Amino acid sequence: MREEFVFQGWRRPDGRMGIRNHCLVLATVACAAGVVREVGRRLPTVVAVEHAHGCGRGGPDLGLQIKTLAGLVQNPNVGAAVLVGLGCEVVSAALLKGALARSGKPAETVVIQQAGGSRKAADQAEALARRLLGELEDLPRESGTAADLMVGLECGGSDTFSGLTANPAVGKAADRLVELGGTVILAETTEMIGALGPLLKLAEGEDVAAKLKAKVERQEARARELLGPLADAVLAPGNVESGLTTIAEKSLGCIAKGGSTPIREVVDYGERPSRKGLVVMDTPGYDIESMAGMAAAGTQAILFTTGRGTPAGFPAVPVIKISSNSELFEAMPDDIDLDAGTILAGKTTRQVGEEILDLLLRVARGQETKAEINGQAVFAIAQEGPAF
Amino acid sequence: MAVLGIRVHASDNVAVVAADVQAGDVVRLADGSEVRAVEAIPRGSKVALSPIVCGQAVVRYGEEIGRTTKDIAAGEYVHTHNLAGRR
């Protein structure tokens, strides 16, 4: 990388730096989805987020939902939020606003049952969002560096080339970002099963190693409990079609994204790391839920490698798609931002790692990713137990 | 025809083929070593670089990715029909 890693961002009240300045319109419960969608239709510049959560679950899941939804609002790419609730749900707009209080994030609430129905609620939410959008436009920008960034690492639709091209190249970019003072999050515990040996070699200190081992073993035990001798079937059909045979093979390719710096900390799903550098987060391998955990912790961007090709993006957080093979890059040009398949034609992982870091800098400076241009933004929260 | 085979670690006993391979094709690694494919192997799949006895470890990235479920000859296609994860 030839130029200094500096961008103009937005410093939030909690000190963290956003690379986007979004107004979020968030349903606190599934029942508010229609109102949120309507506000998104009227005001295309807001980030409208609906989901299937917010009620009807046991304690651990509701805890995860509150933590993740509050974390998403507190993400530094979000400047302000309108929280739309129904009125009788567990995760209400007032409860969520209370969970945000200490962050200083501007948030307004709308309750459909109090507003007099969905049309009036949409009118209220639209008016609040218009005011917040105006206020966000006036926010001053300031210089940020790599040390202000927390970048999530994700792979989805992996193939046998993922572990040879895109993932090690992302690993090089992760190493450089850490060297520059930044933070990267390696997630997807399911895709650490079978790869504990090399991961433990990176763990800094016995506590980190013990926590990492416990998280991976718990996930492996759950996979065996659910799938019995078919535990290897945690591979998706597309993985197997592409030539991946076992979960250990997929995992060993997957963890290459983390690079080679020490693992400084292991955090729970959606938990904000207290240390900089390489951090492991305990998330499912399911891309959408994994990205939600990292976004809730405050990642401002996600590096997402794919061998089979996926259009998935995430609300308010730019997702940078990196293909593991050039055929995919040519087949899905509107979804892939960068081709790491060039490594098969002779480029080094270091060279492509630099290309990834350069692209990350351009995205931090405002360049839209393919997923942002396409309006690809899906949201789902990891769950523990059954619905009631 | 020679096809590029990618081996990550010196201890790996399989390589990934960068293009579709036909029986009789030569798979050539970056270090110049070669193995002749004894059957068709789809692009992105694994070829055995040496004979692997049933029940032995298949090594990729320098780590065990599973055990063979039958004897495998050098040049054979390695996938779910002859390799399984550890139980």
Q: Model confidence over A248-266: pLDDT tens digits?
A: 898 999 999 999 999 999 9
Residue of B nearest to A250 (CA): B65
More confident: A100 or B26: B26
Asked whether residue A326 is assigned to any structural domain, the reply reads yes
A73 and A176 belong to one structural domain: no
- How close is the nearest chain A Cα to the Cα of B65, in Å? 5
A128 and A226 belong to one structural domain: no
Unique residue bearing structure tokens 């506590």:
A207
A345 and A295 belong to one structural domain: yes
Output the six-digit token pair for A311: 């259009």
The stretch B62-82 carries a mean pLDDT of 95
A68 and A88 belong to one structural domain: yes
- Residues in A touching B61 (Cβ below 8 Å): 163, 198, 252-253
Q: Do A243 and B61 make contact, defined as CB atoms within 8 angstroms?
A: no
Output the six-digit token pair for A314: 């995430």
> What residues pair up with A155 in beta bridges, in sequence order?
A305
Least confident window among A93-102, A114-123, A363-372: A93-102
Distance CA A184, CA A311 (A): 22
Number of H helices, E strands in chain B: 0, 9
Q: Model confidence over A139-173: pLDDT tens digits?
A: 999 999 999 999 999 998 888 899 999 999 999 99
A104 and A148 belong to one structural domain: no
Q: Model confidence over B2-54: pLDDT tens digits?
A: 888 999 889 999 999 999 999 999 999 988 999 999 999 999 999 999 999 99
A208 and A295 belong to one structural domain: yes
The stretch A91-106 carries a mean pLDDT of 91
Q: How many CB atoms lie within 10 A of CB B70?
A: 12
Asked whether residue A216 is assigned to any structural domain, the reply reads yes
pTM of the model: 0.93
Distance CA A295, CA B58 (A): 37
Confidence of residue A3 (pLDDT cuts 50, 70, 90): confident
Q: Do B18 and A344 make contact, defined as CB atoms within 8 angstroms?
A: yes
Asked whether residue A122 is assigned to any structural domain, the reply reads yes
- Amino acid, single-letter form, for residue A287: D
3-state DSSP helix/strand/coil % of chain A, to nearest 5 = 45, 20, 35
Confidence of residue A229 (pLDDT cuts 50, 70, 90): low
Unique residue bearing structure tokens 């966000």:
A136
- Residues in A touching B45 (Cβ below 8 Å): 160, 243
A211 and A358 belong to one structural domain: yes
Q: Do A252 and B60 make contact, defined as CB atoms within 8 angstroms?
A: yes
Question: How many inter-chain contacts (A to B, CB under 8 Å) are there?
Answer: 65
Distance CA A339, CA A305 (A): 10
Interface test with A, best of B16, B65, B69 (most A CBs within 10 A): B65
- Residues in B touching A245 (Cβ below 8 Å): 46, 65-66, 78-80, 83-85
Pairing type for strands B77-78 and A107-111 reads: unpaired
With a cut of 90, say whether residue A106 has pLDDT above it: yes
With a cut of 70, say whether residue A289 has pLDDT above it: yes
Q: Residues 6 or more apart from B38 whose CB is under 8 A from it?
A: B23, B73, B74, B75, B76
- How close is the nearest chain A Cα to the Cα of B15, in Å? 10
> What residues pair up with B35 in beta bridges, in sequence order?
B27
A129 and A167 belong to one structural domain: no
Last residue of a domain, one of A85, A112, A137: A137
We report the CATH number of the domain holding residue A129 as 3.40.50.2300
Pairing type for strands A338-339 and A319-323 reads: parallel
Quote the pLDDT of residue A234: 56
Asked whether residue A168 is assigned to any structural domain, the reply reads yes
Asked whether residue A199 is assigned to any structural domain, the reply reads yes
Q: Which domains does chain B have, with CATH numbers?
A: 2-84 (2.30.130.110)
- Residues in A touching B13 (Cβ below 8 Å): none
A277 and A341 belong to one structural domain: yes
Task: Give me the sheet containing A22-27, strands edge to edge.
Answer: A47-49, A22-27, A78-85, A107-111
Last residue of a domain, one of A78, A105, A137: A137
Quote the pLDDT of residue A367: 98
Asked whether residue A284 is assigned to any structural domain, the reply reads yes
A283 and A361 belong to one structural domain: yes
- Residues in B touching A171 (Cβ below 8 Å): none
Task: Give how many domains chain A has, as a whole number.
Answer: 2
More confident: A387 or A273: A273
Q: Give the residue numbers spanning the domain of A191.
A: 144-373
Contact B61, B12 (CB under 8 A): yes
Q: Model confidence over A317-332: pLDDT tens digits?
A: 999 999 999 999 999 9
More confident: A42 or A102: A42
Unique residue bearing structure tokens 């409990």:
A225
Question: H helices within chain A, ranges in order?
Answer: 33-42, 59-74, 93-100, 112-115, 118-137, 166-179, 196-202, 206-227, 237-241, 247-254, 287-297, 326-331, 349-364, 370-373
Output the six-digit token pair for A35: 């109102």
Asked whether residue A99 is assigned to any structural domain, the reply reads yes
Asked whether residue A384 is assigned to any structural domain, the reply reads no
A77 and A155 belong to one structural domain: no
Distance CA A80, CA A18 (A): 12
Confidence of residue A385 (pLDDT cuts 50, 70, 90): confident
User: Which residues 51-70 of chain B have a CB within 8 Å of chain A?
Assistant: 60-61, 63-66
Last residue of a domain, one of A102, A137, A172: A137
- Residues in B touching A197 (Cβ below 8 Å): 63
Q: Model confidence over A22-64: pLDDT tens digits?
A: 999 999 999 999 999 999 999 999 999 999 999 888 888 889 9
CA distances from B50 to A40, A298, B29 (A): 59, 47, 13
Quote the pLDDT of residue B87: 57
A334 and A268 belong to one structural domain: yes
Chain mean pLDDT for chain A: 93
Name the nearest CA neighbour of A285 among A199, A187, A355, A363.
Answer: A187
Report ipTM (2 d.p.): 0.93
Distance CA A174, CA A153 (A): 9
